[in-house]
Amino acid sequence: MTNAVEQESIKVIVFQLADKEYAIPVSHVQGIEKLMHITRVPKTEKYVKGVINLRGVVTPIVDLRERFELPISEHEETTRIIIISLEDMEVGFVVDSANDVLDIPADSIEPQPEVVGSLEEEFISGVAKIDKRLLILLHLEKVLNPLK
């Protein structure tokens, strides 16, 4: 995410949380999985849902709704786990649905508007407007940081 602005355009995975659309650079995405059995890990942060068996690799799962302190919803048919790899970590994000892969031109990315809002604000590196869609670009390091 750090060098997103310098590039001409970046390819992102778009996913939905509550009523907003978010984006993560494809380069950090290892894959998108359907919801599977999550084993709870005791004594961890509330947003750490547990671990899954991702083809033999035990992968921790973070519920982004809980991470951003959004209202919790039941997991549905469209619920997906996006597997992120950042530095030497692999983590899965639970999202409402994974919608799209898009190319975002670098010049359509704007710094995040100065509005005092929810907790998610500090995890945002910028916003992009594409055909009336507003995409929120996530700052992955910050999303994962407090547990490191």
| Distances, alpha carbon 53 to alpha carbons 24, 87, 135, 145, in Å | 23, 20, 30, 23
User: Quick check: 90 binds another protein (CB under 8 A)?
Assistant: yes
Contact map string, positions 5 to 44, toward another protein, x by CB under 8 A: --------------------------------x-xxxxxx
The residue from 2, 53, 78, 108 that contacts another protein (CB under 8 A) is: 53
23 vs 16: CA distance, rounded Å:
9
Q: Which of 35, 51, 127, 130 binds another protein (CB under 8 A)?
A: 51
**Contact call for residue 137 and another protein (CB under 8 A):** no
| In contact, 61 and 82? CB cutoff 8 Å | no
Greatest pairwise CA separation for the chain in angstroms: 44
Which tokens belong to 142?
């910050």
Residue 147 three-state SS: helix
Residue 46, interface with another protein (CB under 8 A)?
A: no
Identify the residue among 13, 24, 29, 48 touching another protein (CB under 8 A). Answer: 48
Distance CA(137)–CA(124), nearest Å, equals 6
Name which of 33 and 100 has its Cβ closer to another protein.
33
Instruction: Give the binding site for another protein (CB under 8 A).
Output: 37, 39-44, 48, 50-53, 55-60, 88-91, 144, 147-148
